[in-house]
Structure 1
Amino acid sequence: MTFVDGGTYVQLLELVQNSIIAAGVLGIVGGLIGVFVMQRDMAFAVHGISELSFAGAAAALLLGLNIVAGSIVGSLIAAGIIGVLGARARDRNSIIGVLMPFGLGLGILFLALYPGRSGNKFGLLTGQIISVDLPQLGLLMGISALVLIALLVIWRPLTFDSLDPEVASARGVPGRALSIVFMILLGLAVAVSIQVIGALLVLALLVTPAAAALRVSASPVLVPVLSMVFGLVSAVGGILLALGGSLPISPYITTISFAIYLVCRIIEWRRSAGAPRRVGSARLSA
Protein backbone atom coordinates (compact mmCIF):
# COMPACT_ATOMS: atom_id res chain seq x y z
CA MET A 1 0.00 0.00 0.00
CA THR A 2 1.26 3.49 -0.82
CA PHE A 3 0.36 6.59 1.16
CA VAL A 4 0.27 10.18 -0.07
CA ASP A 5 2.07 13.08 1.57
CA GLY A 6 0.36 15.90 3.44
CA GLY A 7 0.10 18.34 0.53
CA THR A 8 -1.27 15.75 -1.84
CA TYR A 9 -3.73 14.57 0.79
CA VAL A 10 -5.17 18.08 1.17
CA GLN A 11 -5.56 18.32 -2.61
CA LEU A 12 -7.35 14.97 -2.62
CA LEU A 13 -9.69 16.22 0.11
CA GLU A 14 -10.67 19.13 -2.10
CA LEU A 15 -11.19 16.75 -5.01
CA VAL A 16 -13.52 14.42 -3.13
CA GLN A 17 -15.40 16.90 -0.96
CA ASN A 18 -18.66 15.96 -2.71
CA SER A 19 -18.05 12.32 -1.81
CA ILE A 20 -17.32 13.22 1.82
CA ILE A 21 -20.58 15.17 2.06
CA ALA A 22 -22.47 12.32 0.40
CA ALA A 23 -20.90 9.77 2.75
CA GLY A 24 -21.84 11.85 5.78
CA VAL A 25 -25.44 12.17 4.65
CA LEU A 26 -25.71 8.48 3.80
CA GLY A 27 -24.13 7.51 7.12
CA ILE A 28 -26.84 9.45 8.96
CA VAL A 29 -29.66 8.09 6.80
CA GLY A 30 -28.35 4.53 7.01
CA GLY A 31 -27.92 4.75 10.76
CA LEU A 32 -31.46 6.02 11.27
CA ILE A 33 -33.29 3.61 9.00
CA GLY A 34 -31.10 0.80 10.28
CA VAL A 35 -32.80 1.03 13.67
CA PHE A 36 -36.08 -0.06 12.07
CA VAL A 37 -34.27 -2.68 10.00
CA MET A 38 -33.07 -4.27 13.23
CA GLN A 39 -36.40 -3.88 15.03
CA ARG A 40 -38.26 -5.50 12.13
CA ASP A 41 -35.59 -8.21 11.65
CA MET A 42 -34.99 -7.24 8.03
CA ALA A 43 -31.20 -7.32 7.71
CA PHE A 44 -31.56 -10.04 5.09
CA ALA A 45 -33.93 -7.79 3.14
CA VAL A 46 -31.22 -5.12 2.86
CA HIS A 47 -28.95 -7.59 1.13
CA GLY A 48 -31.73 -8.75 -1.17
CA ILE A 49 -32.61 -5.20 -2.21
CA SER A 50 -28.95 -4.38 -2.79
CA GLU A 51 -28.62 -7.20 -5.34
CA LEU A 52 -31.44 -5.89 -7.54
CA SER A 53 -30.19 -2.36 -6.98
CA PHE A 54 -26.83 -3.52 -8.28
CA ALA A 55 -28.54 -5.04 -11.31
CA GLY A 56 -30.35 -1.76 -12.00
CA ALA A 57 -27.12 0.23 -11.67
CA ALA A 58 -25.28 -2.20 -13.97
CA ALA A 59 -28.08 -1.94 -16.56
CA ALA A 60 -27.89 1.85 -16.43
CA LEU A 61 -24.11 1.70 -16.87
CA LEU A 62 -24.51 -0.55 -19.90
CA LEU A 63 -27.13 1.72 -21.47
CA GLY A 64 -25.27 4.94 -20.69
CA LEU A 65 -27.92 6.17 -18.26
CA ASN A 66 -27.65 7.66 -14.77
CA ILE A 67 -26.31 4.97 -12.45
CA VAL A 68 -28.08 6.29 -9.36
CA ALA A 69 -31.40 6.33 -11.23
CA GLY A 70 -30.86 2.75 -12.38
CA SER A 71 -29.96 1.73 -8.86
CA ILE A 72 -33.14 3.35 -7.53
CA VAL A 73 -35.33 1.55 -10.08
CA GLY A 74 -33.81 -1.81 -9.14
CA SER A 75 -34.19 -1.11 -5.42
CA LEU A 76 -37.80 -0.02 -5.73
CA ILE A 77 -38.71 -3.12 -7.74
CA ALA A 78 -37.15 -5.35 -5.08
CA ALA A 79 -38.67 -3.35 -2.20
CA GLY A 80 -42.11 -3.47 -3.81
CA ILE A 81 -41.98 -7.22 -4.33
CA ILE A 82 -40.78 -7.89 -0.78
CA GLY A 83 -43.22 -5.42 0.76
CA VAL A 84 -46.29 -6.75 -1.07
CA LEU A 85 -45.56 -10.49 -1.04
CA GLY A 86 -43.46 -10.85 2.11
CA ALA A 87 -45.79 -9.84 4.91
CA ARG A 88 -44.75 -12.86 6.98
CA ALA A 89 -41.09 -13.48 7.87
CA ARG A 90 -41.03 -16.93 6.25
CA ASP A 91 -42.47 -15.64 2.98
CA ARG A 92 -40.18 -12.61 3.05
CA ASN A 93 -37.02 -14.67 3.49
CA SER A 94 -37.93 -17.09 0.72
CA ILE A 95 -38.68 -14.21 -1.67
CA ILE A 96 -35.38 -12.55 -0.80
CA GLY A 97 -33.58 -15.85 -1.31
CA VAL A 98 -35.03 -16.00 -4.83
CA LEU A 99 -34.35 -12.34 -5.67
CA MET A 100 -30.72 -12.27 -4.51
CA PRO A 101 -29.17 -14.70 -7.01
CA PHE A 102 -31.43 -13.39 -9.78
CA GLY A 103 -30.35 -9.79 -9.20
CA LEU A 104 -26.69 -10.70 -8.83
CA GLY A 105 -26.79 -12.79 -12.00
CA LEU A 106 -28.40 -9.96 -13.98
CA GLY A 107 -25.86 -7.47 -12.67
CA ILE A 108 -22.93 -9.68 -13.61
CA LEU A 109 -24.43 -10.19 -17.09
CA PHE A 110 -24.81 -6.44 -17.65
CA LEU A 111 -21.26 -5.77 -16.44
CA ALA A 112 -19.90 -8.51 -18.73
CA LEU A 113 -21.61 -6.80 -21.69
CA TYR A 114 -20.35 -3.34 -20.69
CA PRO A 115 -17.41 -2.37 -22.97
CA GLY A 116 -16.08 0.46 -20.80
CA ARG A 117 -13.44 0.67 -18.09
CA SER A 118 -13.23 -2.16 -15.57
CA GLY A 119 -12.98 0.41 -12.78
CA ASN A 120 -16.59 1.40 -13.36
CA LYS A 121 -17.64 -2.23 -13.04
CA PHE A 122 -15.63 -2.76 -9.88
CA GLY A 123 -16.96 0.45 -8.33
CA LEU A 124 -20.56 -0.78 -8.41
CA LEU A 125 -19.53 -3.66 -6.16
CA THR A 126 -17.07 -1.96 -3.82
CA GLY A 127 -17.90 1.76 -3.97
CA GLN A 128 -16.17 4.72 -5.59
CA ILE A 129 -14.45 7.72 -3.99
CA ILE A 130 -14.34 10.36 -6.68
CA SER A 131 -17.45 9.45 -8.63
CA VAL A 132 -19.90 11.84 -6.92
CA ASP A 133 -20.27 15.01 -8.98
CA LEU A 134 -22.54 17.96 -8.16
CA PRO A 135 -25.67 16.64 -9.95
CA GLN A 136 -25.29 13.26 -8.28
CA LEU A 137 -24.68 14.91 -4.91
CA GLY A 138 -27.87 16.92 -5.31
CA LEU A 139 -29.80 13.77 -6.20
CA LEU A 140 -28.34 11.86 -3.27
CA MET A 141 -29.11 14.64 -0.80
CA GLY A 142 -32.63 15.07 -2.17
CA ILE A 143 -33.42 11.37 -1.84
CA SER A 144 -31.82 11.25 1.61
CA ALA A 145 -33.90 14.24 2.75
CA LEU A 146 -37.04 12.52 1.44
CA VAL A 147 -36.22 9.36 3.38
CA LEU A 148 -35.49 11.28 6.59
CA ILE A 149 -38.65 13.37 6.40
CA ALA A 150 -40.81 10.33 5.64
CA LEU A 151 -39.28 8.42 8.56
CA LEU A 152 -40.00 11.29 10.93
CA VAL A 153 -43.61 11.46 9.73
CA ILE A 154 -44.28 7.75 10.31
CA TRP A 155 -41.88 7.37 13.26
CA ARG A 156 -44.40 6.65 16.04
CA PRO A 157 -46.71 4.21 14.22
CA LEU A 158 -43.73 2.51 12.57
CA THR A 159 -42.03 2.06 15.95
CA PHE A 160 -45.25 0.68 17.44
CA ASP A 161 -45.72 -1.73 14.53
CA SER A 162 -42.05 -2.79 14.64
CA LEU A 163 -42.01 -3.60 18.37
CA ASP A 164 -45.49 -5.12 18.80
CA PRO A 165 -47.29 -5.64 15.46
CA GLU A 166 -50.23 -7.58 16.92
CA VAL A 167 -51.14 -4.91 19.48
CA ALA A 168 -50.49 -2.19 16.89
CA SER A 169 -52.90 -3.87 14.49
CA ALA A 170 -55.52 -4.13 17.23
CA ARG A 171 -55.13 -0.41 17.87
CA GLY A 172 -55.81 0.36 14.21
CA VAL A 173 -52.23 0.90 13.00
CA PRO A 174 -52.12 0.06 9.25
CA GLY A 175 -49.28 -2.42 9.47
CA ARG A 176 -49.32 -3.61 5.85
CA ALA A 177 -49.33 -0.07 4.46
CA LEU A 178 -46.52 0.91 6.84
CA SER A 179 -44.54 -2.15 5.75
CA ILE A 180 -44.80 -1.18 2.08
CA VAL A 181 -43.89 2.45 2.78
CA PHE A 182 -40.92 1.37 4.88
CA MET A 183 -39.71 -1.01 2.19
CA ILE A 184 -39.82 1.81 -0.36
CA LEU A 185 -37.80 4.05 1.96
CA LEU A 186 -35.37 1.22 2.59
CA GLY A 187 -35.02 0.67 -1.15
CA LEU A 188 -34.18 4.34 -1.66
CA ALA A 189 -31.62 4.25 1.15
CA VAL A 190 -29.98 1.14 -0.31
CA ALA A 191 -29.87 2.66 -3.79
CA VAL A 192 -28.09 5.84 -2.73
CA SER A 193 -25.71 3.97 -0.39
CA ILE A 194 -24.45 1.75 -3.22
CA GLN A 195 -22.92 4.80 -4.91
CA VAL A 196 -20.47 5.18 -2.00
CA ILE A 197 -19.96 1.74 -0.48
CA GLY A 198 -20.99 -0.61 -3.29
CA ALA A 199 -23.62 -3.32 -3.53
CA LEU A 200 -21.76 -6.08 -1.73
CA LEU A 201 -21.12 -4.26 1.54
CA VAL A 202 -24.12 -1.99 1.94
CA LEU A 203 -24.94 -3.73 5.23
CA ALA A 204 -22.06 -1.81 6.82
CA LEU A 205 -24.12 1.39 6.68
CA LEU A 206 -27.67 0.08 7.00
CA VAL A 207 -27.31 -2.65 9.61
CA THR A 208 -24.04 -2.59 11.58
CA PRO A 209 -24.36 0.92 13.14
CA ALA A 210 -27.86 0.16 14.44
CA ALA A 211 -26.79 -3.29 15.64
CA ALA A 212 -23.93 -1.67 17.56
CA ALA A 213 -26.17 1.01 19.08
CA LEU A 214 -28.66 -1.60 20.31
CA ARG A 215 -25.85 -3.33 22.17
CA VAL A 216 -25.17 -0.37 24.43
CA SER A 217 -28.60 1.18 24.88
CA ALA A 218 -32.32 0.47 24.81
CA SER A 219 -33.37 4.10 24.89
CA PRO A 220 -35.77 5.02 22.06
CA VAL A 221 -33.93 8.34 21.78
CA LEU A 222 -30.31 7.34 22.33
CA VAL A 223 -30.32 4.32 20.01
CA PRO A 224 -31.17 6.30 16.83
CA VAL A 225 -28.68 9.04 17.81
CA LEU A 226 -25.86 6.55 18.42
CA SER A 227 -26.70 4.67 15.24
CA MET A 228 -26.49 7.85 13.16
CA VAL A 229 -23.20 8.82 14.82
CA PHE A 230 -21.73 5.37 14.18
CA GLY A 231 -22.86 5.47 10.55
CA LEU A 232 -21.42 8.95 10.08
CA VAL A 233 -18.07 8.02 11.61
CA SER A 234 -17.85 4.84 9.53
CA ALA A 235 -18.70 6.46 6.20
CA VAL A 236 -16.67 9.65 6.50
CA GLY A 237 -13.81 7.95 8.32
CA GLY A 238 -13.63 5.29 5.62
CA ILE A 239 -13.25 7.89 2.88
CA LEU A 240 -10.62 9.85 4.80
CA LEU A 241 -8.56 6.71 5.34
CA ALA A 242 -9.04 5.47 1.77
CA LEU A 243 -7.55 8.69 0.39
CA GLY A 244 -4.20 7.83 1.94
CA GLY A 245 -3.87 4.43 0.27
CA SER A 246 -4.61 2.53 -2.87
CA LEU A 247 -7.40 0.24 -1.64
CA PRO A 248 -11.11 0.69 -2.41
CA ILE A 249 -13.25 2.57 0.07
CA SER A 250 -15.35 -0.40 1.22
CA PRO A 251 -12.72 -2.19 3.36
CA TYR A 252 -12.14 0.98 5.35
CA ILE A 253 -15.83 1.68 5.97
CA THR A 254 -16.60 -1.92 6.89
CA THR A 255 -13.56 -2.18 9.17
CA ILE A 256 -14.47 0.99 11.08
CA SER A 257 -18.09 -0.12 11.32
CA PHE A 258 -17.10 -3.57 12.55
CA ALA A 259 -14.63 -2.12 15.06
CA ILE A 260 -17.39 0.08 16.51
CA TYR A 261 -19.63 -2.97 16.76
CA LEU A 262 -16.93 -4.95 18.58
CA VAL A 263 -16.39 -2.11 21.06
CA CYS A 264 -20.13 -1.98 21.74
CA ARG A 265 -20.21 -5.75 22.26
CA ILE A 266 -17.36 -5.45 24.76
CA ILE A 267 -19.19 -2.67 26.60
CA GLU A 268 -22.32 -4.81 26.72
CA TRP A 269 -20.33 -7.80 27.98
CA ARG A 270 -18.63 -5.79 30.72
CA ARG A 271 -21.98 -4.42 31.86
CA SER A 272 -23.59 -7.85 31.99
CA ALA A 273 -20.54 -9.30 33.77
CA GLY A 274 -20.51 -6.53 36.36
CA ALA A 275 -24.23 -6.56 37.11
CA PRO A 276 -24.30 -9.81 39.19
CA ARG A 277 -21.31 -8.64 41.25
CA ARG A 278 -23.01 -5.33 42.03
CA VAL A 279 -26.20 -7.15 43.07
CA GLY A 280 -24.20 -9.59 45.19
CA SER A 281 -22.29 -6.80 46.89
CA ALA A 282 -25.52 -4.98 47.65
CA ARG A 283 -26.97 -8.11 49.28
CA LEU A 284 -23.84 -8.65 51.39
CA SER A 285 -23.84 -5.07 52.60
CA ALA A 286 -27.50 -5.39 53.51
Structure 2
Amino acid sequence: MIPVIVAGPLDDLWDQMFSFENYGRLLALVQNSILAAAILGIVGGLIGVFVMQRDMAFAVHGISELSFAGAAGALLFGANVVAGSLVGSLIAAALIGLLGARARDRNSIIGVLMPFGLGLGILFLALYPGRSGNKFGLLTGQIIAVDFDQLGLLIGIAVFVLAVLLVIWRPLAFDSVDPEVAQARGVPTRTVSLLFMLLLGLTVAVSVQIIGALLVLALLVTPAAAALRVSSSPLVVPLLSMGFGLVSAVGGILLALGGSLPISPYITTISFAIYLVCRVIERAQRGRATRRKVATA
Protein backbone atom coordinates (compact mmCIF):
# COMPACT_ATOMS: atom_id res chain seq x y z
CA MET A 1 0.00 0.00 0.00
CA ILE A 2 1.40 3.39 -1.01
CA PRO A 3 1.20 5.92 1.85
CA VAL A 4 -0.70 9.08 1.10
CA ILE A 5 0.98 12.24 2.38
CA VAL A 6 -1.48 14.94 3.26
CA ALA A 7 -0.19 18.50 3.24
CA GLY A 8 -0.43 19.99 6.67
CA PRO A 9 -0.70 23.53 7.95
CA LEU A 10 3.09 23.99 7.70
CA ASP A 11 3.00 23.15 3.99
CA ASP A 12 0.22 25.65 3.42
CA LEU A 13 2.15 28.27 5.35
CA TRP A 14 5.27 27.61 3.31
CA ASP A 15 3.31 27.93 0.06
CA GLN A 16 1.93 31.26 1.21
CA MET A 17 5.42 32.54 2.03
CA PHE A 18 7.51 31.02 -0.75
CA SER A 19 5.81 29.76 -3.89
CA PHE A 20 7.71 30.72 -7.02
CA GLU A 21 5.35 29.53 -9.74
CA ASN A 22 5.37 31.81 -12.80
CA TYR A 23 8.03 33.90 -11.06
CA GLY A 24 9.54 35.27 -14.26
CA ARG A 25 6.19 36.48 -15.54
CA LEU A 26 5.37 38.12 -12.22
CA LEU A 27 8.81 39.73 -12.06
CA ALA A 28 8.11 41.64 -15.26
CA LEU A 29 4.99 43.16 -13.67
CA VAL A 30 6.76 44.73 -10.72
CA GLN A 31 9.76 46.39 -12.33
CA ASN A 32 8.55 49.80 -11.23
CA SER A 33 8.20 48.60 -7.64
CA ILE A 34 11.68 47.08 -7.66
CA LEU A 35 13.21 50.30 -8.96
CA ALA A 36 11.20 52.33 -6.44
CA ALA A 37 12.35 50.04 -3.62
CA ALA A 38 15.99 50.41 -4.70
CA ILE A 39 15.71 54.19 -4.69
CA LEU A 40 13.92 54.16 -1.36
CA GLY A 41 16.52 51.84 0.19
CA ILE A 42 19.34 54.19 -0.83
CA VAL A 43 17.62 57.43 0.24
CA GLY A 44 16.22 55.91 3.44
CA GLY A 45 19.58 54.44 4.37
CA LEU A 46 21.33 57.77 3.91
CA ILE A 47 18.86 59.94 5.78
CA GLY A 48 18.58 57.25 8.45
CA VAL A 49 22.16 57.97 9.53
CA PHE A 50 21.12 61.45 10.61
CA VAL A 51 17.93 60.08 12.17
CA MET A 52 20.09 57.90 14.43
CA GLN A 53 22.62 60.63 15.17
CA ARG A 54 19.84 63.04 16.13
CA ASP A 55 17.96 60.37 18.14
CA MET A 56 14.79 60.84 16.07
CA ALA A 57 13.62 57.28 15.44
CA PHE A 58 10.42 58.09 17.32
CA ALA A 59 9.86 61.05 14.99
CA VAL A 60 9.90 58.75 11.96
CA HIS A 61 7.01 56.77 13.40
CA GLY A 62 5.11 59.94 14.25
CA ILE A 63 5.47 61.33 10.73
CA SER A 64 4.41 58.00 9.23
CA GLU A 65 1.11 58.10 11.12
CA LEU A 66 0.20 61.51 9.68
CA SER A 67 1.39 60.33 6.28
CA PHE A 68 -0.95 57.36 6.60
CA ALA A 69 -3.83 59.69 7.52
CA GLY A 70 -3.12 61.87 4.48
CA ALA A 71 -2.95 58.87 2.16
CA ALA A 72 -6.15 57.38 3.62
CA GLY A 73 -7.94 60.73 3.23
CA ALA A 74 -6.83 60.96 -0.39
CA LEU A 75 -8.04 57.40 -0.97
CA LEU A 76 -11.45 58.24 0.51
CA PHE A 77 -11.96 61.44 -1.47
CA GLY A 78 -10.57 60.11 -4.75
CA ALA A 79 -7.43 62.23 -4.76
CA ASN A 80 -3.85 61.19 -5.49
CA VAL A 81 -2.70 58.90 -2.68
CA VAL A 82 0.95 59.92 -2.97
CA ALA A 83 0.00 63.60 -2.80
CA GLY A 84 -2.13 62.95 0.29
CA SER A 85 0.72 61.06 1.91
CA LEU A 86 3.11 63.94 1.16
CA VAL A 87 0.76 66.51 2.66
CA GLY A 88 0.34 64.50 5.86
CA SER A 89 4.08 63.89 6.19
CA LEU A 90 5.05 67.51 5.60
CA ILE A 91 2.49 68.80 8.10
CA ALA A 92 3.81 66.40 10.76
CA ALA A 93 7.45 67.19 9.94
CA ALA A 94 6.83 70.94 10.09
CA LEU A 95 5.01 70.69 13.44
CA ILE A 96 7.76 68.55 14.97
CA GLY A 97 10.49 70.76 13.53
CA LEU A 98 8.92 74.06 14.65
CA LEU A 99 7.59 73.04 18.06
CA GLY A 100 10.02 70.32 19.09
CA ALA A 101 13.36 72.07 19.36
CA ARG A 102 14.11 70.23 22.60
CA ALA A 103 13.97 66.45 22.88
CA ARG A 104 11.33 66.51 25.64
CA ASP A 105 9.04 68.84 23.65
CA ARG A 106 9.60 66.79 20.51
CA ASN A 107 8.63 63.51 22.14
CA SER A 108 5.49 65.10 23.62
CA ILE A 109 4.43 66.45 20.24
CA ILE A 110 5.07 63.11 18.54
CA GLY A 111 3.15 61.31 21.28
CA VAL A 112 0.17 63.57 20.55
CA LEU A 113 0.43 63.34 16.76
CA MET A 114 0.75 59.56 16.53
CA PRO A 115 -2.64 58.51 17.95
CA PHE A 116 -4.35 61.43 16.22
CA GLY A 117 -2.89 60.48 12.83
CA LEU A 118 -3.58 56.79 13.27
CA GLY A 119 -7.14 57.41 14.47
CA LEU A 120 -7.85 59.81 11.60
CA GLY A 121 -6.44 57.34 9.09
CA ILE A 122 -8.54 54.48 10.47
CA LEU A 123 -11.63 56.69 10.28
CA PHE A 124 -10.95 57.46 6.61
CA LEU A 125 -10.38 53.79 5.81
CA ALA A 126 -13.55 52.77 7.63
CA LEU A 127 -15.51 55.21 5.44
CA TYR A 128 -13.77 54.11 2.23
CA PRO A 129 -16.11 51.85 0.22
CA GLY A 130 -13.48 50.44 -2.15
CA ARG A 131 -11.29 47.34 -2.15
CA SER A 132 -9.95 46.15 1.19
CA GLY A 133 -6.57 45.52 -0.44
CA ASN A 134 -6.12 49.26 -0.91
CA LYS A 135 -6.82 49.83 2.78
CA PHE A 136 -4.48 47.11 3.96
CA GLY A 137 -1.74 48.23 1.58
CA LEU A 138 -1.44 51.64 3.23
CA LEU A 139 -0.56 49.93 6.50
CA THR A 140 1.63 47.05 5.33
CA GLY A 141 2.71 47.89 1.78
CA GLN A 142 1.78 46.54 -1.64
CA ILE A 143 3.92 44.69 -4.15
CA ILE A 144 2.26 46.32 -7.16
CA ALA A 145 1.84 49.84 -5.89
CA VAL A 146 3.93 52.01 -8.21
CA ASP A 147 2.80 53.05 -11.68
CA PHE A 148 4.90 55.14 -14.08
CA ASP A 149 3.56 58.47 -12.79
CA GLN A 150 4.27 57.52 -9.18
CA LEU A 151 7.72 56.25 -10.14
CA GLY A 152 8.54 59.57 -11.78
CA LEU A 153 7.34 61.44 -8.70
CA LEU A 154 9.35 59.15 -6.43
CA ILE A 155 12.52 59.65 -8.47
CA GLY A 156 12.00 63.41 -8.41
CA ILE A 157 11.54 63.43 -4.63
CA ALA A 158 14.56 61.17 -4.12
CA VAL A 159 16.80 63.36 -6.28
CA PHE A 160 15.60 66.47 -4.43
CA VAL A 161 16.21 64.90 -1.00
CA LEU A 162 19.68 63.69 -1.97
CA ALA A 163 20.62 67.05 -3.51
CA VAL A 164 19.53 69.05 -0.46
CA LEU A 165 21.23 66.57 1.89
CA LEU A 166 24.51 67.03 0.02
CA VAL A 167 24.17 70.82 0.20
CA ILE A 168 23.53 70.88 3.96
CA TRP A 169 25.68 67.83 4.80
CA ARG A 170 28.41 69.58 6.79
CA PRO A 171 26.20 71.87 8.93
CA LEU A 172 23.71 69.03 9.42
CA ALA A 173 26.44 66.62 10.53
CA PHE A 174 27.89 69.27 12.86
CA ASP A 175 24.45 70.01 14.33
CA SER A 176 23.71 66.30 14.73
CA VAL A 177 26.91 65.56 16.66
CA ASP A 178 27.09 68.68 18.86
CA PRO A 179 24.19 71.16 18.41
CA GLU A 180 25.33 73.55 21.15
CA VAL A 181 28.81 74.00 19.71
CA ALA A 182 27.36 74.22 16.20
CA GLN A 183 25.07 77.04 17.29
CA ALA A 184 27.96 78.82 18.99
CA ARG A 185 29.97 78.58 15.76
CA GLY A 186 27.20 80.31 13.82
CA VAL A 187 25.44 77.32 12.28
CA PRO A 188 21.74 78.16 11.77
CA THR A 189 20.70 75.11 13.74
CA ARG A 190 16.97 75.86 13.79
CA THR A 191 16.85 76.30 10.02
CA VAL A 192 18.96 73.19 9.45
CA SER A 193 16.76 71.16 11.80
CA LEU A 194 13.55 72.29 10.12
CA LEU A 195 14.96 71.60 6.67
CA PHE A 196 16.03 68.12 7.77
CA MET A 197 12.57 67.42 9.17
CA LEU A 198 10.99 68.38 5.84
CA LEU A 199 13.38 66.09 3.99
CA LEU A 200 12.53 63.33 6.45
CA GLY A 201 8.83 63.97 5.85
CA LEU A 202 9.30 63.58 2.10
CA THR A 203 11.22 60.34 2.58
CA VAL A 204 8.61 58.91 4.95
CA ALA A 205 5.80 59.74 2.53
CA VAL A 206 7.57 57.82 -0.22
CA SER A 207 8.33 54.92 2.13
CA VAL A 208 4.67 54.51 3.09
CA GLN A 209 3.85 53.69 -0.54
CA ILE A 210 6.23 50.70 -0.52
CA ILE A 211 6.42 49.26 2.99
CA GLY A 212 3.30 50.76 4.61
CA ALA A 213 2.88 53.19 7.48
CA LEU A 214 3.36 50.73 10.32
CA LEU A 215 6.83 49.48 9.39
CA VAL A 216 8.63 52.49 7.92
CA LEU A 217 11.28 52.18 10.63
CA ALA A 218 12.65 49.07 8.91
CA LEU A 219 14.06 51.22 6.10
CA LEU A 220 14.68 54.54 7.82
CA VAL A 221 16.18 53.35 11.12
CA THR A 222 17.34 49.71 11.08
CA PRO A 223 19.91 49.97 8.23
CA ALA A 224 21.59 52.97 9.87
CA ALA A 225 21.45 51.33 13.30
CA ALA A 226 23.13 48.24 11.84
CA ALA A 227 25.83 50.29 10.09
CA LEU A 228 26.65 52.17 13.29
CA ARG A 229 27.26 48.84 15.01
CA VAL A 230 30.20 47.94 12.78
CA SER A 231 31.76 51.32 12.00
CA SER A 232 32.07 54.89 13.21
CA SER A 233 33.59 56.28 10.03
CA PRO A 234 31.67 59.28 8.62
CA LEU A 235 32.19 57.80 5.15
CA VAL A 236 31.71 54.08 5.78
CA VAL A 237 28.53 54.37 7.87
CA PRO A 238 26.41 56.13 5.19
CA LEU A 239 27.66 53.73 2.51
CA LEU A 240 26.87 50.68 4.63
CA SER A 241 23.49 52.08 5.61
CA MET A 242 22.54 52.70 1.98
CA GLY A 243 23.71 49.20 1.05
CA PHE A 244 21.73 47.60 3.87
CA GLY A 245 18.63 49.58 2.93
CA LEU A 246 18.99 48.60 -0.73
CA VAL A 247 19.36 44.89 0.07
CA SER A 248 16.40 44.96 2.49
CA ALA A 249 14.01 46.78 0.16
CA VAL A 250 14.82 44.99 -3.10
CA GLY A 251 15.31 41.62 -1.43
CA GLY A 252 11.98 41.98 0.34
CA ILE A 253 10.13 42.64 -2.90
CA LEU A 254 11.83 39.76 -4.70
CA LEU A 255 10.85 37.37 -1.90
CA ALA A 256 7.34 38.76 -1.55
CA LEU A 257 6.79 38.19 -5.25
CA GLY A 258 7.04 34.45 -4.63
CA GLY A 259 4.38 34.42 -1.92
CA SER A 260 0.94 35.76 -1.16
CA LEU A 261 1.87 37.92 1.84
CA PRO A 262 2.43 41.69 2.02
CA ILE A 263 5.90 43.08 1.33
CA SER A 264 6.61 44.40 4.80
CA PRO A 265 7.28 41.09 6.64
CA TYR A 266 9.98 40.20 4.12
CA ILE A 267 11.63 43.63 4.21
CA THR A 268 11.57 43.84 7.99
CA THR A 269 12.94 40.31 8.38
CA ILE A 270 15.87 40.95 6.03
CA SER A 271 16.57 44.28 7.71
CA PHE A 272 16.48 42.72 11.18
CA ALA A 273 18.71 39.83 10.08
CA ILE A 274 21.30 42.33 8.81
CA TYR A 275 21.12 44.13 12.15
CA LEU A 276 21.70 40.87 14.07
CA VAL A 277 24.71 40.01 11.90
CA CYS A 278 26.15 43.46 12.55
CA ARG A 279 25.69 42.94 16.29
CA VAL A 280 27.66 39.69 16.04
CA ILE A 281 30.41 41.45 14.05
CA GLU A 282 30.50 44.26 16.62
CA ARG A 283 30.96 41.75 19.45
CA ALA A 284 33.73 39.99 17.55
CA GLN A 285 35.47 43.32 16.93
CA ARG A 286 35.29 44.18 20.61
CA GLY A 287 36.67 40.77 21.54
CA ARG A 288 39.65 41.22 19.22
CA ALA A 289 40.28 44.73 20.55
CA THR A 290 40.19 43.44 24.14
CA ARG A 291 42.62 40.62 23.34
CA ARG A 292 45.03 43.09 21.68
CA LYS A 293 44.93 45.33 24.75
CA VAL A 294 45.66 42.38 27.03
CA ALA A 295 48.50 41.22 24.78
CA THR A 296 50.16 44.66 24.72
CA ALA A 297 49.67 45.33 28.45
- TM-score range with shorter-chain normalisation? over 0.9
Aligned-partner Cα distance in 2 for 1:243–1:129: 7
- What is residue 75 of structure 1 aligned with on the other side? 89
Task: Letter of the 1:33 partner, please give it.
Answer: I
Aligned-partner Cα distance in 2 for 1:175–1:277: 42
Count, aligned residues:
282
Structure 1 SS opposite 2:215:
coil
Task: Letter of the 2:260 partner, please give it.
Answer: S
Structure 2 SS opposite 1:46:
helix
Which residue among 66, 74, 92 is the counterpart of 2:106? 92
Aligned-partner Cα distance in 1 for 2:171–2:25: 47
- What is residue 139 of structure 1 aligned with on the other side? 153
* Residue 4 (structure 1) shift: 4.0
Aligned-partner Cα distance in 1 for 2:291–2:176: 34
* Residue 5 (structure 1) shift: 4.1
Aligned-partner Cα distance in 1 for 2:222–2:176: 18
- What is residue 177 of structure 1 aligned with on the other side? 191
- What is residue 267 of structure 1 aligned with on the other side? 281
- What is residue 125 of structure 1 aligned with on the other side? 139
Which residue among 38, 60, 72 is the counterpart of 1:58? 72
Change (3 A) 1:84 1:157: same
Which residue among 135, 160, 163 is the counterpart of 1:149? 163
Aligned-partner Cα distance in 2 for 1:33–1:45: 13
Aligned-partner Cα distance in 2 for 1:78–1:267: 37
Q: TM-score, normalised by structure 2?
A: 0.94
Task: Letter of the 1:194 partner, please give it.
Answer: V
Task: Letter of the 2:88 partner, please give it.
Answer: G
Structure 2 SS opposite 1:244:
coil
Aligned-partner Cα distance in 1 for 2:289–2:245: 29
- What is residue 224 of structure 1 aligned with on the other side? 238
Task: Letter of the 2:214 partner, please give it.
Answer: L
Aligned-partner Cα distance in 2 for 1:5–1:244: 4
Aligned-partner Cα distance in 2 for 1:173–1:133: 41
CA contact (8 A) 2:20 2:259 kept: no
In angstroms, what is the RMSD of aligned CA positions? 0.8
* Residue 273 (structure 1) shift: 2.1
Alignment of 1:206-217 (within 5 A): 206-217=220-231
Q: TM-score, normalised by structure 1?
A: 0.97
1:281 maps to 2:295: yes
Aligned-partner Cα distance in 2 for 1:172–1:282: 44
- What is residue 256 of structure 1 aligned with on the other side? 270
Structure 1 SS opposite 2:213:
coil
Aligned-partner Cα distance in 1 for 2:221–2:242: 11
What's the % identity of the aligned pairs?
79
Structure 2 SS opposite 1:200:
helix
- CA deviations 1:63-117 (Å, max 9, x no partner) are 1111110000000000000000000000000000000000000000000000000
